[in-house]
Amino acid sequence: MAWRDVVIVTLLTLLVVAGWILLQTSDPSDTRTAGARLPALSDADALHELLTDPDLDPRIVAALESLQRQLAAGRVEQQKLSRQLAELQVAMYSVNELTEPATTAADAATETQADESSPQFGPSGRGRVTRERLIAAGFAPHQAEDILSRADEIAMERLQLQYQAQREGWLRSRDYVEAMREIPSIRQALTEEYGERAYDRYLYASGRPNRLVVNDVFRDSPAAGAGLQNGDRIIALAGERIYSERDLRQVATRGSAGESVPVIVERAGSQFEVYLPRGPLGIRTGRDYQPPDP
């Protein structure tokens, strides 16, 4: 092998190694930076000229082309992982944060409706919220009409945003998440208009579970120290109503860790207050259904 070929192989080997290091050390979430630098390594004019040089040893050409293919495959894999990461980031926000466990027209946001054969939580069974169910849950007739209209409005706003984002190619993006967050949930709408207890009645009208029940208390946990027992219901934490595990987790992680906050607990039909630190309470929970507070 001529000295010229040795120099060329050395330089190109260093170039390929630099590209591999770039793939290993670059931030997968920063596709703009990685994408901007990698083509410069794989498609450089100088590299192309060397590979097409008729005087270059064919074995060297074959080896370099193989290295190029490996580099390109690594870049494709990195882009694939970056897309998966972006999808998971969107999913973290969208699955639990952007939707409410509500029915009626809000279910149209995902173009599905509750099946009357699904698990029965309440006396009426889980299903579509109707004017009659809302009235039976304690809403006045005009309030029931207003709630159904507002639910339809929220559902249409979400559908329009979803269709627009899908049409324009930004459905799985942070911009989509932020835009969806700006649309109020049915819980927000009900609370602003009728107060926090309105959402309790709304859940009851839908036949969905509206109480968080303590199923197990860990030994030596904050909950055990406060005297919580199996079967207790967590009604509120730090002044905020609790209807689900998600509610409990969100409120418990706010503020300063270890900060002592009041917890309203219901036991055998009576309510009392204890104080617990923000953070994990040390309980396993389930959900139950009961008539809303009067």
Contacts of 82 (CB under 8 A, 6+ apart): 28, 29, 31, 34
Rg (CA), the chain: 29
Query: Bridge-partner residues for 236, per DSSP?
Result: 241, 264
Asked if residues 92 and 101 have their Cβ atoms less than 8 Å apart, the reply is: no
pLDDT of residue 35: 40
3-state secondary structure 158-207: HHHHHHHHHHHCCCCCHHHHHHHHCCCCHHHHHHHHHCCHHHHHHHHHHC
pLDDT score at 39: 41
Local confidence pLDDT in tens for the 294 residues of the chain: 555 555 455 555 655 555 555 555 555 444 444 444 434 444 555 556 665 666 666 777 677 777 777 877 777 777 666 665 555 544 443 333 333 433 333 333 332 333 333 334 454 455 578 999 999 999 999 999 999 999 999 999 999 999 999 999 998 888 998 999 899 999 999 999 999 889 999 999 988 899 999 999 999 999 999 999 999 999 999 999 999 999 999 999 988 888 999 999 999 989 999 999 999 999 999 999 888 877
Cβ contacts of 70 within 8 Å, gap of 6 or more:
none
218 and 279 Cβ atoms separated by less than 8 Å: no
Q: Tell me what pLDDT residue 92 has.
A: 43
Please state the domain extents for the chain: 3-97, 104-206, 211-288
Q: How far apart are CA 21 and CA 26, in angstroms?
A: 8
| 266, HSE (Cβ side, Cα atoms, 13 Å) | 14
Per-residue pLDDT reduced to its tens digit, 70-100: 877 777 777 666 665 555 544 443 333 333 4
β-pair partners for 271: 266
- 292 with 233: CB under 8 angstroms? no
- The class that CATH gives domain 211-288 is mainly beta
Residues 6 or more apart from 85 whose CB is under 8 A from it?
28, 29
Helix (H) or strand (E) holding 273: strand 270-277
Specify the DSSP element, H or E, that contains 274. strand 270-277
Tokens representing 140? 């006045």
Do 38 and 75 contact (CB within 8 A), yes or no? yes
Q: How far apart are alpha carbons 139 and 128 in whole angstroms?
A: 16
| Angle formed at CA 100 by CA 85 and CA 205, multiple of 5 degrees | 160
The distance in angstroms from the start CA to the end CA of the chain is 92
Q: What are phi and psi of 210, to 5 degrees?
A: -130, 15
Range 224-233, long-range pairs (CB < 8 A, 24+ positions): 224/282, 226/263, 226/274, 226/275, 226/276, 227/274, 228/265, 228/274, 228/281, 228/283, 229/267, 231/267, 232/265, 232/266, 232/267, 233/265, 233/266, 233/267, 233/288
